[in-house]
Amino acid sequence: MTPLLYVPLLLLLALTPWLLPALRSNNQTSTLRRLLRLGKKTPSQKPSEILSLRVYPIKSCRGFEVPSSKLRTTGLDLDRRWMLVDATTHVFLTIRQIPEMTRILTGISDDGEELLLSTADIKDEKAEIAIPSRPSAAWLEENTTLASDVQIWDTVTDGYIYNPSVGVNQLFSKFLNRDVVLVYKGPTARILKGNGDPRLLGRVQSTNFPDVHPVLIASQASIDELNSRLKSGGHEAITIERFRPNIIIRGDREAPWVEDSWKTVRISSPGTAGGEGEDGASLTFDIVARCGRCQVPNVDPVTAEKHRTQPWDTMMSYRRVDPGLKYKPCFGMLGAPRGEGEVRVGMKFEVLEETTGHQYIKGF
Ligand SMILES: *[C@@H]1O[C@H](CO)[C@@H](O)[C@H](O)[C@H]1NC(C)=O
Ligand SMILES: *[C@@H]1O[C@H](CO)[C@@H](O)[C@H](O)[C@H]1NC(C)=O
């Protein structure tokens, strides 16, 4: 053998310990995951910042802005921990069937201990009901009943159903003119499906009562672009609240809709380059899918009036961008946080990885 041949041989020997595990894991799951990563590109997007944070404690009901929040792997603190279900069937209710739900108002007490619930037709303070924002086991034991048949989309999960003694069920049933009950997410994890399925995400992650994934991130630059189209079509501009995002970033006015290709994003305190999570300064999200929209954004969140055509028609004309969502326009990106920590308005937002491979998957 000529000495030159030893070089590749030595290299191979040196790399064996690293190559072996990679070859061993060459099963279907890892092949699928690798295929999904093929579309990855190096990022070209300018850093941006968080403009606003929004939580919607009760699914489909009116939420509110917060200056800061605790990000959990399940989503922002308080976000969609509650929902309303039919009192008899325990099937979830949303603005899709009941636009009036957006006139159920939620707020938080100054000390953060209580969630304040009321309805838009009642200005009288006395009609507000306060419930613990983080109910203790003892509170739940005495004031709720754990049900295992709470249905959200095609998932059956558990939830603590508020007892009549709390008063919320009567308040909301009267307002919506049907029998509903309030539910707090139970202890059983609602594991992500579709694009967030553990086989694709590479970890088991769960969420409370959003439709599918923990966090919706949206761009102000993109709603501004949509609004310029709405206005030139003779329609009124709409607020980003209609899309019910959690994290709103400023984005780049020169480049709206670049979020379509986000793959991995990071938020961090300006000027710090710390590690992940609690003590570190940055939080990374896997962007699992685009958010396909129904006609909920046609509903004015203040009046609950549903516009017959807008913004749906305008969006359908140019926002059908996901190959997995042929008949739905997209707005915003669905993310799964890798860690937990404090998020604040003004934090830096960066795109770490982009992809051309997003394709919405409903489930397996
Ligand atoms: C396939 O590989 C992944 C890691 O790449 C591993 O987590 C999983 O357990 C493997 N599955 C089987 C059936 O070997
Ligand atoms: C149950 O709720 C009531 C208020 O509705 C409260 O006064 C009581 O302390 C709660 N029970 C427990 C065990 O916390």
pLDDT tens readout for residues 1-21 = 566 667 666 666 666 656 555
Locate the ligand 2 atom nearest the alpha carbon of residue 136 and give its number: 14
Would you state the pLDDT for residue 279?
Answer: 47
pLDDT tens string 233-264: 999 999 999 999 999 999 999 999 999 999 99
**R_g (Cα) of the chain, nearest Å:** 23
Residue 121 pLDDT grade (very low, low, confident, very high; cuts 50, 70, 90): confident
Average pLDDT, the chain: 90
For residue 211, the one-letter residue type is D
* Pick from 297, 348, 281, 344: nearest CA to 52: 344
Strand pairing partners for 262? Answer: 354
CB-defined site of ligand 2, < 6 Å: 138-139, 142-143, 166
The arithmetic mean of pLDDT across residues 222-233, rounded, is 98
Q: Which residue is closest in CA terms to ligand 1's atom 11?
A: 27
Angle at 309 between CA 321 and CA 334, to 5 degrees: 35
**Ligand of minimum distance to the alpha carbon of 27:** 1
The arithmetic mean of pLDDT across residues 18-27, rounded, is 53
| Tokens representing residue 106 in the block | 């939620």
Residue 363 pLDDT grade (very low, low, confident, very high; cuts 50, 70, 90): low
Would you state the pLDDT for residue 2?
Answer: 62
Domain 40-53+192-355: CATH class, spelled out: mainly beta
| Tokens representing residue 10 in the block | 């030595």
pLDDT tens string 59-101: 999 999 999 999 999 999 999 999 999 999 999 999 999 999 9
Which residues touch 207 (CB under 8 Å, ≥6 apart)? 74, 75, 80, 190, 192, 213, 214
CB-defined site of ligand 1, < 6 Å: 25, 27, 29-30
Would you state the pLDDT for residue 106?
Answer: 97
The answer to whether the Cα torsion of 359, 205, 286, 224 is positive or negative is positive
Locate the ligand 2 atom nearest the alpha carbon of residue 143 and give its number: 1
Domain boundaries, the chain: 40-53+192-355, 80-188
pTM: 0.85
Distance between Cα 200 and ligand 2 center (Å): 42
